[in-house]
Amino acid sequence: MAGHSKWANIKHRKGAQDKKRAKQFTRAIKEITVAVKEGGGPDPESNPTLRNAISNAKGVNMPKDTIERAIKKASGADADNYESVTFEGYGPHGIAIFVECTTDNTNRTVASIRSIFSKNGGSLGTNGSLEFLFDKKGVFVLETTELELSTEELELELIDGGALEFERDEDLLRVYTEFTDFGKMSSKLEELSIEPKNAEVQRIPLNTTKLSVEQGTQILNLIDKFEDDDDVQNVYHTLEVTDELIESMEED
């Protein structure tokens, strides 16, 4: 699990760059749109999926008026019709890659994802072929600087909400739950008046593969290509992100 978290931390740092902001906003707007249409309407008080989407949008510093416009548009007759699709395949060096997309044109998305795999030494597999390599977990990212509870008190409360594991990274606390306890933890955080910086279900690799820095960089560059695609929401992989690989990326 730690290897996956290191990659999440890298994405968090890279995501602060201006060139990533537009893509983050696009993803957040899609998440809001799907939440309104499938989660139970435009009122966050009665739609927990929308509450979570709004929280995630705030986590990437989306302005309040942009969030409100996204909700209003999603509620209208001319709202975009998105559907969620997933793709599974292998990159170079036997690294499994799981891609989650939200799209209004499945044919376009299939062609794009297949092209990225094939042009970068990978291959697209059949749906379900790699599902067993990942475990779905709820992942909540909290900013600890604004919390009033002590670390011990907070962790006890979160264990009561279904927390399985905690990971600290500077001022961030990452909390893992079972997939089935995602709603339970969301309710516990609301009870504690804690708004997570991010909350989502992630696919955590059960096992990871360690590669050389050169090979690992090749995989991360491939993942960047997926993430640059407008239809892609999340990318998961089985690469072990070592300290050496992190250092080499930070030097770039």
**100 or 247, which is more confident:** 100
Q: Is the pTM of this model over 0.85?
A: no
Q: In angstroms, what CA-CA distances link 106 with 35, 96, 110, 157?
A: 19, 22, 6, 42
The whole-angstrom separation of Cα 136 and Cα 125 is 19
Taking 80 as the threshold, does the pLDDT of residue 11 lie above it?
Answer: no
Closest of 140, 138, 139 to residue 179, by C-alpha: 138
Strands 232-237 and 96-103: antiparallel
**Bridge partners, residue 101, by sequence:** 85, 232
The CATH fold assigned to 134-205 is Alpha-Beta Plaits (3.30.70)
Q: Per-residue pLDDT tens for 99-158?
A: 999 999 999 999 999 999 999 999 999 989 998 999 999 999 999 887 888 888 999 999
Measured at the CA of 21, the angle between CA 18 and CA 24, to 5 degrees, comes to 160
Which one is predicted more confidently, 141 or 77?
A: 141
Q: Which residue has the higher pLDDT, 252 or 57?
A: 57
| pLDDT of res. 5 | 52
* pLDDT band per the 50, 70, 90 thresholds, residue 10: very low
Tell me the domain boundaries of the chain: 2-75, 83-132+209-251, 134-205
pLDDT of residue 148: 81
List the structure tokens of 64. 């309040």
Between helices 2-15 and 243-251, what is the axis angle to 10°?
10
83-132+209-251 shares its CATH topology with 134-205: yes
Homologous superfamily (CATH) for 2-75:
Integrase, N-terminal zinc-binding domain (1.10.10.200)
Question: 83-132+209-251 maps to which CATH number?
Answer: 3.30.70.980
Q: How far is CA 174 from the centre of its chain?
A: 13
Task: Name the nearest CA neighbour of 186 among 26, 80, 35.
Answer: 35
* Dist CA 53 CA 67 (whole Å): 10
Q: Measure the CA–CA gap between 243 and 211, rounded to whole angstroms.
A: 12
Q: Which pLDDT does position 76 carry in this prediction?
A: 85
Mind listing the pLDDT tens digit for each residue in 149-198?
888 899 999 999 999 999 988 888 999 999 999 999 999 999 999 999 89
Nearest to 48 by CA among 239, 159, 185: 185
Whole-number Å distance between alpha carbons of 148 and 194: 10
| pLDDT confidence of residue 88 | 97
User: How many CB atoms sit inside 10 A of residue 170's CB?
Assistant: 9
Contacts of 81 (CB under 8 A, 6+ apart): 37, 104
* Phi, psi dihedral angles at 190 (to 5 degrees): -65, -40
Q: How confident is the model at residue 12 (pLDDT cuts 50, 70, 90)?
A: very low
With a cut of 70, say whether residue 252 has pLDDT above it. Answer: no
> Mean pLDDT throughout 91-95?
96
